[in-house]
Structure 1
Amino acid sequence: MINLMQKITNVQCLEHFEQVQFLDLRQNILKGDRAKCCKCQLINPTHIEQAFSKWIQKTQDEIQQIQNEFQGYLNPLKLFQEQMRQTQKSFDQNCEHLINEIDYLIRGINYDKNQKIKSLQVFGESISLSILQEMAELMSEKTPIMKQSKRDVELYKGLKLIINLTIQIMNEQQNSVIQLVKQQQSAKEKVENFKDIYLSHRSYYQYTETKNIYDIK
């Protein structure tokens, strides 16, 4: 407060050219009639120190109001941003797990396929009478050479269930993704639209000339 008072030691009223010591804070008073010295006509004046105290309190109250107002805008945006991060993280983790499990199945099925093909293609380095007879016997039958075991049947049934479920999930996800993409696009458009408006009006928040209310001439 002392520094503020030192700044106005040379500020004089327009009528008597004496140091301003009072301010008239009443409503409906002309701005030119508000700064008063001891010789001015005084009607319920406020001493300059008290006026500065009121001014500081008023600015602090408005600063707090601005902070509260903008925090009301920032909190939902921060929450939405965090939800997007968590959704992305959870989605990535689930996808990574499924990708690894499916990769394990693909490698296992490929191995079984190659083993079956290999058993059909290779009879050994030497061909014996029994092998020729076995070949003839298998060729005489209309059934497949490689007969499915009970284990193979169970595996194929399980695999078919997975395939059917995969198709169902893909179809459902396609519809869900379409809806999600629409929602994200709508949010993206609104965010980008507000960003453009904010940037176009940003000059209102940037002052090229800073005016100090205490630099009274």
Structure 2
Amino acid sequence: MSLISGRSKIYHEINISDKEQVNSALGTLKPIPSVIFHTVSPPFGLLDLELYLRVNVEETRNLLESAEKLGVKAFVYTSSASVIHDAVSDLIEVDESYPLVFLPTQKEIYSHSKALADELVLKHNNPAHGFLTTSIRPSSIFGENDPGSVKSFAEKAAAGKLKFQIRNGKNLFDFTYVGNLVHAHILAAQKLLLQHATPSLIKDESMRVDGQAFLITNDEHIPFWEFA
């Protein structure tokens, strides 16, 4: 956990499944942080449902409850675009109105756990108590020092496993550069803090950020196999 106050940054190595450790870490800063960016998750592709549920769901619940109790104003969660995808069907020009997909319809246990956490975050939105939440749903993140897709592609290329293409290669896909994703998180936090300070400014419900989820991509539909 990284806590920032002004220009100083403090790192705490804690188990966020332990509420006391979370409360203690958050309580070290005075005043309490205005925003929490919750980005923690095991990587995609593991065969460990228990791990995903513990980290992505229960630890998210703990962090939400501690944050609200201690007076944090805004909570920005890094979800995934896969929460609305069953890992089988084609999704074309979808938006946030699509429902979350859970087991057994959901075929990926990672995405199932992220959908549960996403739902939890949005349900914890509580304007009356001054606690505003939002969920950011990126599609396939890539960028500098990427331990995920870029590393995986590079390793597979080195092993000669990218010489093969499935079907005609015309299937389109959306990727998300990490810099754009960071920008989306910052914009979401700024909007939540503005809403917290002056809730009367939100006269159009379609402009609300709190309690809402947002799909984030580069807005570039490209053939998947060209990227790979």
Higher RCO (C-alpha under 8 Å, 6+ residues apart): 2
TM over 0.5: no
More helix by share: 1
Q: Which has the larger radius of gyration?
A: 1
More strand by share: 2
TM-score, normalized by length of structure 2?
A: 0.18
